[in-house]
Structure 1
Amino acid sequence: MTVYVPEEFTSDESDVLRRYFTNLDGPVFALVNLPEVVKGALFARYSRSPKSLRRLFLDEFVNDLVIDGDETIDATIGLDRAEQLYERVFFEYGDDSVAQLGGVHLACEQASNILTKILEWGRLMSYLEQSTRYIGYDARLGGRYRFYRDPALLSSSLGTRYVGDMDRMFDAYSTAVNTVTEHVRDTVPQDPDDSDFVYRTATRAKALDAVRGMLPAASLSNVGIYGTGQAFEALLLRMRSHPLPEAQQYADLMLHELRKVIPSFLRRVDLPDRGGQWSDYLASTRGDTAELVGRLFGEVPNESVPEVSLVDFDPEAEDKLLAAICYSHSHLPETVLLERVRNLGVDERAAILRAYVGDRANRRHKPGRAFERVDYRFDILSDYGAFRDLQRHRMLTIEWQALTPNHGYARPELVEQAGVGGLFDETMDRSARLYDDIKAQFPEQASYAVSMAYRLRYMMQFNAREAFHLLELRSAPQGHPSYRRVALAMHRAIAEQAGHHAVAAAMTHMTHEAPELERLAAERRAESRRSM
């Protein structure tokens, strides 16, 4: 049974590709012998392209590179001597800091949207994931719709049902995308100053945003990862201990390719007394905790709760923030500063904060680490699509529950206005029924069946400095409506529920009004840059 669709290249294309990629047919491969700026540009373009990374490289990048002498390049030259050094320093003496100094660009293709969240767990890595708002997911791969086909599930009595229901869900998505696109173009006039390309791109993105919730979590995505050897080791140990079979199998593919580039950094991963014990520990603690919590609190929820709940904050946060601001500019201990800050007048307190925040010309101008003294913890129940975008913020703490249909789903108004509300609901029903039928025999794989419009419960904890980045970015005009709503609710809770009005007011680049076409301004700017 073929899980992944291999790519095909001509002999000339293969001659070029093998100089830069560690394999030509697998879904996981590392990039070598390329300037760092080219690797970065490739990954950036990757997130908005339906093409694989190797095809994208051939079509859009290779003609801009000088490759005349590349036939003689061999990435393994000199590797043996370097391996001897790393073997002595890293493996024998256990100096983990050495593994922080070597990095790899790794392409991870044909990964389910369940697996992508596992891949993007680590804080000390960089990720770019294929976007659902620029790419129509009804494009086929190897003649079939792009969803993960778990071998055990497909070989079971549910296999034919799984493929059939998935195909129907993708059919419905395809119909809805085209219908909603036509509706948007019929109801939103084109500005005379906008080119046809800008208008068509922005209206298509609006439709893709509206119907992405019909896609099942099994939908395949491409992820570009850049990380150090230490970060990849931690990721692989987690994946090897994960109960999802896809994660375990994909970890083996990643380890095989990474060992072509940084073998010493990953030697411990599958040694029974090193990485093996570590993965066993992660698996056992996860399994034991899940079993106990399930026995104590395993009931299915049915109560109605807010989408965003601020569940923990510090009532003295603003006093502590002001003391933290003053700390590096004084010679007093923090306890003394905190006592004196409490006795300041309103004008003096405002002056300290105003001086520290300054004039923020744009959202990238962020105040300093004093804002890390203030923490917020939110319990969120949003559609899975919004979670996918918010989860990628690495400088926060996030935990999420299993993806199920139990919390209901969110249907955008635009879907109903375009006349495909019934098709949307029918797809949600099909998704829920398939999940219910799979769950008993394949509890981990059952989430593949759940459409992204279904709600997921997750917890996010972050400090006020990260809140500047997260909330201002995710409330931006071009943001998806589902996560814009979450960001705005968080900002209101910080100001009104926590009473941290000064902190909320310092976030001067929040966007409270959404445009009719979220991507229009961004597409205009992109076209302007292209014309320069």
Structure 2
Amino acid sequence: MPSRSPEAQPSNQTEVFAVHGADPEVLAYAMAKYSRSALSMKESLKEISSQRAEQFLNTFYFQYGHRSIADLAHVAFAIERLSLLAAIVLVDEQRWDGQERSTRYQNFRKSGWYMPDFAADAAAGQLYRDTVTGLFAAYEQVAAGAFESLRQQTPRPEEMKQDAFDRTMKARAFDVARYLLPLATNTSLGQIVNARTLEMQISRLLSSPFDEVRMLGERLREAAAGPAWNVHASDYSALADEVAKLDPALGERARELLTREVKTAPTLVKYAKENEYRSATRRELAQAADGLMKGIPIQAAPLVDLVEAGQSLEVELATTLLYGACHYSYRQLRERVAALDSVRRDEIISLGTRYRGRHDELLREFSVGQVLRFDILMDIGGFRDMHRHRRCVQVMQDFTTEHGWDVPEGLEQAGLKATFDTAMKQAHAASQRLAASAVPQSAQYVLPLATRNRTLFSMDFAEALYISELRSAPQGHFSYRRVAWEMYQAVRKQHPVLAQYFRVTDINEPVDLLKR
């Protein structure tokens, strides 16, 4: 029997190693070469320079449209002192990883806040400033009052130290006080995203009607294209100085290597710009929604509404497209859309693609067909926690005073209800006045986190079960615990056989505040 050639012999030599130190775009090129070269990763990285990576990306990413290459370049960013409103817009990506300052565990009293440019309307600027400072004063008062109330009402276990007990009670007090934080409040966050998501994120930010958000998009693009901050820069520079004392030539080589500038994604984001498809489509969908629902009052809606299936995919798509452009519930919109003839319904759907360019991804609203659609009307603070669930498709509506606000637990017992109500009424009244000012976008910034807002969450059964189980847990915030419980109850009502698979926590059971 003839022996096989060496190439045909089995080779059980799997090797796995982590890669460190390569620039993101260089690493993306090296990984992409697996599809075009037999070289190993180590061999590829040794021969690739930043210049060669740029040439490759210019050809295959931009000219040929191989956008998956950008999935291989991951970049870390710190984004600090942006408003809560801008942070919500920033993180609204389905492929996103990051962490933000928690309004549940940190005091935001000294965070500062975003101030729009009111040069054309000084009176509106003063109203904005007074409203935000008034909300922060109420926030501080409620946080202090809730803390004292909780300390008095909650026995401290003998084995628990006083400082640990106080930290826990302060966190529970922030659970209440955060309802008064305006969307103008500054926060900070870190994100790690791939370059394709980053490019899409920048383009989306540049298409925003908010000045702050557009500026954020510009700064994000500049940060990706410019030199990155090196955590070891001072240590490397000092080391190069020490080497230079011993050998000037070697020290210069060390300095060039150790302190060189690294630009994380200069090629992959250089063409990111405002997305005309998104901007123009949003405007036309808003006009279509206004025309369809003109004069019709917004109907009252529950906290969670699991909208039953039964309509065609065309009705679902047209309804979802209009949903993000108005403040009506999904159910109320769907009734109107279902009553339209097919020609009028198709006109609405066509608005979603009229301005779509060659490389534009379809709007998120086209991701329809999920079995479970939850129309959720909840406070903005609680929504920010629900917003983290990215396996589902979320379609947000703009922030508005239309739906009123939620009242946190514990205010009555602490004697703080009047303070809270006064602050909320003044903030919503100011928002309505600012909406008619020369800077109408400022109206959303003065809305406190207690303000109710509507979002459509579409998902499969596994995600509904996961959210219900996770968010109903006792350590969760009472706001989203109610939402998770109502999601479970809605599924149980429509699909009773499936209820047995949920491992939810009954939110009506007493909760030990020291274990939350």
Tell me the distance in 2 between the aligned counterparts of 1:80 and 1:155. 50
Distance in structure 2 (CA, Å) of the matches to 1:292 and 1:299? 13
Which of 268, 273, 279 does residue 271 from structure 2 map onto? 268
Matched, 1:180 2:146: yes
Alpha carbons of 1:480 and 1:433: their partners in 2 closer, same or farther (altered >3 Å)? same
CA distance in structure 2 between the partners assigned to 1:116 and 1:243 by the alignment: 15
- Give CA deviations for 1:105-161 in whole Å, capped at 9, x if unaligned: 1112122121122111111111212111111111x25xxxx2211124786431122
Indicate whether 1:230 and 2:233 are aligned.
no
Q: Give the corresponding residue for 1:108.
A: 79
Q: 1:501 to 1:296 in 2, by over 3 A?
A: closer
1:293 aligns with 2:264: no
CA distance in 2, matches of 1:506, 1:112: 40
User: Is the CA contact (8 Å cut-off) linking 2:482 and 2:507 kept in structure 1?
Assistant: no
Q: Which position in structure 2 is the counterpart of 1:502?
A: 497
Which residue in 2 is equivalent to 1:528? none
In the alignment, the residues of structure 1 paired with residue 509 and residue 170 of structure 2 have an alpha-carbon distance, to the nearest angstrom, of 17
Question: Post-superposition shift, 1:513?
Answer: 4.8
Which residue of structure 2 aligns with residue 331 of structure 1? Answer: none
Is the contact between residue 477 and residue 515 of structure 1 (CA under 8 Å) also seen in structure 2?
A: no
**Residues 410 and 154 from structure 1, CA distance in 2 versus in 1: closer, same or farther, beyond 3 angstroms?**
farther
Q: 2:515 aligns with which of 516, 521, 527?
A: 521
1:87 aligns with 2:76: no
Letter of the 1:168 partner, please give it. Answer: G
Assess if the C-alpha contact under 8 Å between 2:221 and 2:270 holds in 1.
no
- The answer for unaligned runs of 5 or more in structure 1 is 1-31, 37-76, 271-275, 316-372, 523-532
Cα RMSD, aligned residues only? 2.6
For the residue of structure 2 that corresponds to 1:382, the secondary structure is strand
Is 1:132 the counterpart of 2:127 in the alignment? no
> 2:306 touches 2:373 (CA, 8 Å); kept in 1?
yes
Task: State how far apart, in whole Å, the 2-side matches of 1:184 and 1:153 are.
Answer: 44
For 1:385, the aligned partner's letter is G
Q: Is the 8 A contact 1:310 1:378 kept in 2?
A: yes
Report whether the alignment pairs 1:380 with 2:385.
Answer: no
Q: 1:457-476 alignment to 2 at 5 Å?
A: 457-476=454-473
1:391 Cα offset (Å): 1.5
Describe the shift of the 1:154–1:195 C-alpha distance in structure 2 as closer, same or farther (beyond 3 A): farther
Q: Distance in 1 between matches of 2:428 and 2:462?
A: 39
Change (3 A) 1:426 1:301: farther
Give the superposition deviation at 1:404: 1.6
For 2:458 and 2:193, the matched residues in 1 are separated by 24
Query: What CA distance in whole angstroms lies between the structure 1 residues aligned with 2:504 and 2:408?
Result: 26
Cα contact 2:140–2:177 (8 A) shared by 1:
no
> Contact 2:401 / 2:428 at 8 angstroms: preserved in 1?
yes
Matched AA of 1:502 = V
Aligned with 1:258 (options 224, 229, 232):
224
Cα 1:159/1:186, change in 2 over 3 Å:
same
Decide whether aligned partners of structure 1 residues 96 and 421 sit closer, same or farther in structure 2, where only a CA change above 3 A counts: same
The letter for the 2-side match of 1:266 is: V
Name the counterpart of 2:10: none
Note the 1:126-525 alignment, pairs <5 A.
126-138=97-109, 140-141=110-111, 146-152=112-118, 156-260=122-226, 261-270=264-273, 279-299=275-295, 301=297, 303-313=299-309, 375-441=371-437, 442-496=439-493, 498=494, 500-513=495-508, 515-518=510-513, 520-521=514-515
**Rg larger in structure:** 2
Counterpart amino acid of residue 184 in structure 1? L
1:434 alignment partner, SS class: helix
Pick closer, same or farther for the CA change 1:307–1:34 going to 2, 3 Å: farther
**CA–CA distance in structure 2, aligned partners of residues 463 and 314 of structure 1:** 16
Q: 1:289 to 1:304 in 2, by over 3 A?
A: closer
Alpha-carbon offset, residue 313 of structure 1:
4.2
Alignment deviations for residues 435-479 of structure 1 (CA, whole Å, 9 cap, x no partner): 011101333221111111121122111111111221111111111
Give the aligned residue type for 2:129: V
Partner of 1:264, secondary structure, is coil
Aligned to 1:399, the other structure's residue is in SS state strand
Read off the aligned partner of 1:262 and give its amino acid letter: A
> Mind listing any 5+ residue stretches in structure 2 that lack a counterpart?
1-19, 25-47, 227-263, 312-368
**Aligned partner of 1:485: which letter?**
R
* In structure 2, C-alpha distance between the alignment counterparts of 1:308 and 1:127, rounded to whole Å: 27
Q: Contact 2:474/2:511 (CA < 8 Å) preserved in 1?
A: no
User: Take 1:313 and 1:416, find their aligned partners in 2: how far apart are those partners?
Assistant: 41
Structure 1 contact 129–224 (Cα < 8 Å) conserved: yes
**CA distance, structure 1, for counterparts of residue 477 and residue 119 of structure 2:** 33
Q: Aligned letter for 1:267?
A: K
Moved more, 478-487 or 436-445: 436-445
Deviations for 1:290-323, whole angstroms, at most 9, x for unmatched residues? 12212332558564321111112479xxxxxxxx
Alignment partners' CA distance in 2, 1:375 and 1:198: 45
Q: Is the 8 A contact 1:113 1:219 kept in 2?
A: yes
Distance 1:314 1:480, change over 3 A: farther
Describe the superposition over 1:486-513 as per-residue Cα deviations: whole angstroms up to 9, x where unpaired.
10011011012x1x23322112254545
- The 8 Å contact of residues 214 and 453 in structure 1, kept in 2 or not, is answered as yes
Cα deviation for residue 237 of structure 1 reads: 1.3
Distance 2:511 2:127 in 1: 40
Q: Which amino acid aligns with 1:268?
A: Y
1:40 equivalent in structure 2: none
The count of corresponding residues between Structure 1 and Structure 2 is 380
Per-residue deviation at 1:83? 1.8
Q: Percent identity?
A: 29
1:69-121 CA-partner distances (Å, limit 9, x unpaired) = xxxxxxxx943332233223322322111101000111121221211221111
CA separation of 1:374/1:290 partners in 2, compared to 1, >3 Å: closer, same or farther?
closer
Matched with 2:241 is none
Say whether the 8 Å CA contact 2:386–2:480 is kept in structure 1.
yes
- Residue identity matched to 1:97: S
3-state SS in 2 of match to 1:158: helix
- Given that residues 127 and 224 in structure 1 are in contact (C-alpha distance below 8 angstroms), is that contact kept between their aligned partners in structure 2? yes
Q: Which residue in the other structure is 1:97 paired with? A: 68
Task: Tell me how far apart the structure 2 counterparts of residues 461 and 263 of structure 1 sit (CA, whole Å).
Answer: 35
**Equivalence map 1:34-53=2 (5 Å):** none
C-alpha distance 200-311 of structure 1, shift in aligned 2 (>3 A)? same
Counterparts of 2:21 and 2:435, CA distance in 1: 45
2:465 and 2:488 in contact (8 A); partners too? no
Structure 1 letter corresponding to 2:214: Q
